[in-house]
A and B are shown apart, each in its own frame.
Chain A
């Protein structure tokens, strides 16, 4: 397991296309998390539905 992590880190920091692929995956994942939090998570919305009383 340790070997695998070392291998991934090595590739990640190398100047190769495989390394670029890992950068792409990491950047896409972080951006997706950011977009989910800002747009879809519902953070900051009122706790109770406003139409409850209709």
Chain B
């Protein structure tokens, strides 16, 4: 219990640090709501009224207090580009991205674990070195390039959709069934998720392989064999859970790069998720929206790390503090 309390407190502190950094970061960026192309031909009075409207004339500290206060009320601010609440602007992209990231991560974990375990079990064989090089290659490849490979070698031959989130033709002639909508979504989600997963699995595979090798050399594995257990049962019942421990940490640590990968992947696949929304907001200098997106992303990484801590606690009884 001590452990959980500590982790929770730690997560809350991190959230506050993230909020503060998020505030500072956007005040450090050059330009503001009235600079640049956006307001090239505005009158002086108009600029001043806009600055006032966003409260940019107030001292920074006061701005910070207002920002935190509004956050506490669930108010992420108003978009400069379309004057809608930020939350309304980023909710749909977020809902689109989440399943894609989850499926992508699950794909990477599954491929990573299976290939890592097989490589460890067949250590020194051709299968092992083949896996090593494949994993390293995918780990080193830029995600956008993997995306192109996926489009070229999978999307085209299989006729899978490689852009957007739903077919244009769906629902033109008749109201589609829930199942049709669902499978259409899944088929659009699959390739971006696969790209993300393939880009991530290499690292996981190598870590699983090495921690698996270490675990297989442990005395309790020999004991399990002496008990008469068969090889794969030993891997499944004794080695895997211990070998998973470093992977949990690694996944939690790589959540940031998962999000970064998602932005690139969404760009290539024109997938209307949080990545595209980010790129869009950057090009429009829509700082409130960007700030909102950053906040949501940081929060999700913190929450995921918190969950990883709890998973670790569950997996390893030795963790108590």
Chain A complexes with chain B: no
Enumerate chain B interface residues (CB-CB to A < 8 A): none
Enumerate chain A interface residues (CB-CB to B < 8 A): none
